[in-house]
Structure 1
Amino acid sequence: MHKPTFILKRFLSFLFLITLSPPATTTTTTTTAYSVQVPPPPVNLLLPSDAVALLTFRSKADLDNKLLYTLNERFDYCQWLGVECVQGRVVRFVLEGCGLRGVFEPNSLTRLDQLRVLSLQNNSLAGPIPDLAGLANLKNLFLNHNSFSGTFPLSVLSLHRLRTLDLSHNNLTGSIPTELTVLDRLNYLRLDWNRFNGTIPPLNQSALEIFNVSSNNLTGPIPVTSTLSQFGISSFAWNPNLCGEIINKNCRSTSPFFESSTGVASPPSPLLQNAQSQGVVLSPKKHKRFGVILGFVIGVLILVPAVLTFFVLSKKRREQGSSKSTMLSSEAVNINGTDATIAPQVVNNELEVEEKKTPGAQLREKSGNLVFCAGEAQIYTLEQLMRASAELLGRGTIGTTYKAVMDNRLIVSVKRLDAGKTAITSGEMFEGHMEAVGVLRHPNLVPIRAYFQAKEERLIIYDYQPNGSLFNLIHGSRSTRAKPLHWTSCLKIAEDVAQGLAYIHQASRLVHGNLKSSNVLLGGDFEACLTDYCLAALADSSTTDDPDSAGYKAPEIHKSGHRATSKSDVYAFGILLLELLTCKPPSQHPFLVPTDMPEWVRAMREDDVGEDNRLGMLVEVAGICSLTSPEQRPAMGQVLKMIQEIKESVMIDDEARNSCTGYS
């Protein structure tokens, strides 16, 4: 090495050390012979400001020394990992999955005023996001999949050239600022998987193409703007208190149980009508006094008949003695040779209990009352259920489902079976089937808590699932163009559904028989849970399915009209998996052999880049499950194992990716 070059490099290294030392009025250099005091020159004369910014960032964000940044020449920093320069200025800084641990130091990267792309995703950076106002030319910002905390960084609102903003999968809190509307160039916005609360701002940027605020704690109606209306339910999912037209969730309060769709309010009481017709306007004090008087009168009117009834019944009991034929709560009451039974009827849009008399009918002890399954505690009664307010959730193959809110605020789902669509008419057969199904318990099954039957009326009571169905998650509202779910969501949902089906097949001789996206609900922790399982045996096989429901049925079921089997469940799972991956209902699936499926799925997921291998593995599972011959389809336990192996391989790939080996 030439001596002048060696001296120059030593001098540059000396200057570099000066820039990293604490500021002082003077700097002292000591040798064995003498000491010299040298005043520190300005930083911008020693190192480029971009190099100082990068080194300052590394000093606090790379606590494990993953980044081997060394500076021998003035512009060496342009060759560092993740750095891209144009004419000596940093325009891209991308460190994805490099195992960074520390904080995003203020006044570090924010000095890169020519930066266009900043991506620090898939690391372990914590603390607040600093003031980014200095990045005036920034177009793309990816800080997702870290552990950033604090509130939404308001400084990004000053970045008027910003097109991409991804802060998802962090621990940010607070509200999403309404001022996001000023970012008129924004076309990609993800804020999902944080802890934001408040409402969604009325975003109306025409350029916005990707938007996701799911998995937060946002509340209230979603603004109906032309921009937000183009996104599906998945963009707003897992915010239990969001409502509005875009996600098909009514923001109005619930109505009385089994209210008709007309929504007409009940008329005022005759007493109030009389007061209104005479033009009486009650002052607050008079209104209060009137209410007290009215309450007293009503109390008397209720109390007197109750007392009289009590004495009459007491007299009857004394006459009848200890006869067991007087059990009103659990058995039919025999009066003059007739059986009086309790049966629910829809009267005036409310589910009421009516007394029917049928000559000579002999009922079982459990008829006319709620029967709780699998030792469930009887925490409510039929009367409480009948008084509940309700909301129509949907109409299915064999009945209608309601959300019922009882007086004690307990919420359940009630499926009311349609007598014209059920094949089992015997009360004993229905009870036996429900006892077999009611004992099934699994995290991916919506548990059946109780059932009720009396004459032709049958109810099945489930736990209420707060986050809607997989159908709504996949397809969104009618006014939106739904987009396929992210790869990780598809894998998680597929595993949950496979877990539930495998349990049904292994724990009993039963089958689901009616698997479809509308029968997969999202639980409180957003797990996929199967509902309407094992009820296909109750259905009349002559009933006509809608095109989408028919698309899940295996060929052998279509041809012969035979009952569902475990292998037909596997077929339906394969169709559901394709629906999950492509966002297309079964009626829009082309007839494809397994070898042609990957190309079609990729065409439907045109936004996914670099996921071909992962998609190919799931598409292969879907193809095997939906083979025409039932003998060639695997058992559901084998399907579950395939999906779990895919999950394990993905985790291994992600760990390898996080090592940052060979990144350029």
Structure 2
Amino acid sequence: MLNLKTTPHQPQRFPIFLLFLLLCSFLTYPEAAKHSASPEAKALLGFQSKADVRNRLGFSQNTTSHFCDWKGVTCYQQNVVRLIIEDLHLGGVFPPNTLSLLHQIRVLSLQNNSLTGPIPDLSALVNLKSLYLDHNFFTGSFPPSILSFHRIRTVDLSYNNLTGSIPTSLASLDRLYYLRLDWNRFNGTIPPLNQSSLKTFNISGNNLTGAIPVTQALLRFGFSSFSWNPGLCGEIIHKECHPRPHFFGPVAAVAPPPKVILGQSAQVHGVELGQPSSKKHKRTAVIIGFSTGVFVLVGSLLCFVMAVRKQKDGKQSTAVNESDDAAATAQAAAAIQMEQENELEEKVKRVQGMHVAKSGNLAFCAGEAQLYTLDQLMRASAELLGRGNMGSTYKAVLDNRLIVTVKRLDSGKLAATTKEAYEQHMESVGALRHPNLVPLRAYFQAGEERLLIYDYQPNGSLFSLIHGSKSTRAKPLHWTSCLKIAEDVAQGLAYIHQAWRLVHGNLKSSNVLLGPDFEACLTDYCLAALAASSTLTDQDPDSIACKPPETRGSGSTHQATSKSDVYAFGVLLLELLTGKSPSKHPVLAPDEMVHWLRSSREDDGVDKERLGMLLEVAVACLSCSEQRPTMWQVLKMLQEIKEAVVMEDGELDPHSGMP
């Protein structure tokens, strides 16, 4: 039966919260539309449309958020002043007329994003100070638009596929602080860079030729800044530019390096590219006159020798017995003297630890110039620098005044490996090239003898800097020095881990050396793979304190991993902050670490907040293995600390650390 009962009509009520949301959308839509319609937002979206093929950025015009809140974007007064998009492997191209519309941008970093194609014209970015485009796949020639950045301080185009010559007008960028063009395909010569502001420089891994200009700026950089360019020569890399001519024919000489007066600015228009013709004629006349004089002198000497020989032949019959006796006596005396000298030399070599078997030759790493032989190395004067877990280290001064560091590995502390396995490992280690690694130049193996040859670092080790010498007591380093050194070490470790899937295995302050500009450089890296298991267990207390707990137990394999490198970095950071040796670090809770840090420094004026940020990084590195960050993440933490300080303290380039 149907229910025909009716109910009075009730009006439908519109939910109040839906009305509120609708009203908010109407109010915020014009603001969102205004943000997405701004020229700078369009520039960012245009870049994303071509560069971000994997949709990693997340930029969108259909959002209520301001473009200044997008990933990697930093604004000042509604203008983009910094765009840092790194390690996202975007995979697209760098489209023109996109980021070049960000007229107020000062820092542009697109490192490690697998971008391809040419670099677009960026000449409209008149305020740009720092440009980082390394670890991509850009092709084409050197972008001329970079030279319009009159205020530029930093250029990093390394690890691309750029061709052509390096423009000489780079020398006119008088504020240039950081220049890296390594691992491209540049050819031609090096411009005469002489900016006193230049602190970081690397052009290795190209096809550059000719003599390196001898300028005050370029003299500050070592061989590693120019390596893997077989055609380069000159005083800076100790390679002769005028090889001696062959006996049966002339050899084309390499042009001499352009001389620049030390202390003088090398402007483009100030470098003479040629000499007047009158000077050339004068030079030719001098050469002809000199050659004539040489021929006359040689003829005179020949005549004199013939006259002496005739006179000697006349007297030879009467003095043959006397000369034979004298010759025999002189020969015997010379033999005795030579034997005594050899014995003395062998004793010195034994004392110095450099007496090794000479069967075999030095193996130079790929791309390295063969500047010396094994015999020259053995004749070098050696000075013991120290003894470590793997062997002894010496400073060797060769006949050509080249100074190298020689590490003699202790055969009793090495694991049993074949000659081929040793050579393969050393080739991998020798291929590592980074500003924060001491480069391995050559190695030697004969029987049980194994030598490693590195660049000599004149400023000592980080251990000496932190702890001082026996006669002096070092003070705790300023927090900015701690940050700089920590970032340098993190850069080197991240490179080893990320690019080559290797590990250091023995990170400690004595294995961090200070380069010519007091940059921190890692040494003895990747040698732990050659060590015997007994070497890893029998170590001094400081070395043991640098090892993570998971590698100390009796049931562990003691194998070095990237995680153990991170732990050792945390110990090193504590050593930097407190000045205390690793074996003297107490086991404390994180909140107690702050009090220990302050009491260790004994400095009332210390910046406690910033030291606390560095301490947090150290604590993260010292956590259990599963919770430890990667070295790349640690590097990012340190860079974020530096950028935060930059935002607080004013105009400071966050990538260079210079005002």
TM-score, normalised to structure 2, is 0.45
**More contact order relative to length (CA 8 Å, sep ≥ 6):** 1
- Answer 1 or 2: which has greater strand percent: 1
What's the TM-score, normalizing by structure 1? 0.45
